[in-house]
Amino acid sequence: MRGRDPRCKLAAFLLLLPVLMSAPLFSPVWMAGVVLVLAGLRLARVDWLHFARGLWRLRWLWLAMLLVHGWFTPGAPLWPVGPALTREGVVAGGRQAVRMILLIGAAWSLMRSTTPLELVGALDRWSGRWRPVKHWLSILAFCLATLPRFQEEARRVRVGMRLRLMDDPGGFAARLERIAFAGEAMMMRMLWDVRRREEGLLARGHADALPLVRVEARATDWRDWVLLLPPAVAWLVWWAGITLW
């Protein structure tokens, strides 16, 4: 999936959403969506162990879904005493958890094979000549392009603070003071950097002091359409089953 047109990948993700979240579980079209999600994770070269760890970090979300559905869905209680969960609620919560896991898998494969700037570029090409949308997309692209530099500055501040204060552990109050000092230092660096870059941009002729970060656009070839075809067919089958049957 790497190197393919981000517009096709984003469209494939949007077409899979209603199939994964609305089609009946274990129906043929839903199983086709599951196969497409697994294929997308494979093509995006996602580390399966890393993906499983990410799902494990959301274990409290899965538990909360089971409890909420189990308590508020009418049905047969699992035990006769106290505020019992219902069997129907637990089943409904499990189904929603499965749908959410598939949604996370589809989003994971999209983000692992596409950079944020490529996604912004796809939205920019979809927006056409609509100036308000293009303006906000340019601001988003500029923020995404400058975010790594700010992350590097934050890392330098943390390393400098650690080296200067490694012999002074202090207590809880001293730790809070160091955190506040590091945040103040980071804010001063950011303000100084923004002011310096604003002056440079104005000197180069950018009237709004915001350079447009453009993503290289390329023509869509047959491999991009092959990537988009299976989700489109799955969406058409889901749409026909919902509206005609």
CA distance 99 to 160: 45
pLDDT digits (tens, 9 = 90+) for 213-241: 555 556 677 888 888 899 999 999 988 88
Question: Angle at CA 128, nearest 5°, toward 122 and 134?
Answer: 75
pLDDT band at residue 113, thresholds of 50, 70 and 90?
Answer: confident
pLDDT band at residue 245, thresholds of 50, 70 and 90?
Answer: very low
- What's residue 244's pLDDT? 47
CA distance 131 to 120: 15
pLDDT digits (tens, 9 = 90+) for 39-85: 999 988 888 998 999 899 989 999 999 989 988 888 888 887 767 88
CA distance 138 to 121: 9
Cβ atoms of residues 43 and 113 within 8 Å: yes
Does residue 143 surpass a pLDDT of 70?
Answer: no
Question: What proportion of the chain, given as a percentage, has pLDDT over 90?
Answer: 23
154-to-148, 160, 193 alpha-carbon distances in Å: 10, 10, 13
pLDDT digits (tens, 9 = 90+) for 6-51: 888 889 999 999 999 998 888 889 999 999 999 999 988 888 998 9
29's CB contacts (< 8 A; 6+ apart) are 19, 23, 234, 237, 238, 241
Question: Chain-wide mean pLDDT for the chain?
Answer: 78
- What's residue 101's pLDDT? 93
User: Domain-by-domain residue ranges, the chain?
Assistant: 6-114+218-243, 122-203
Cα Rg of the chain (Å, integer): 25
Does residue 99 surpass a pLDDT of 90?
Answer: yes
Cβ atoms of residues 13 and 107 within 8 Å: yes
pLDDT digits (tens, 9 = 90+) for 150-206: 667 667 666 666 655 555 555 666 666 666 766 667 677 666 666 666 666 556 555
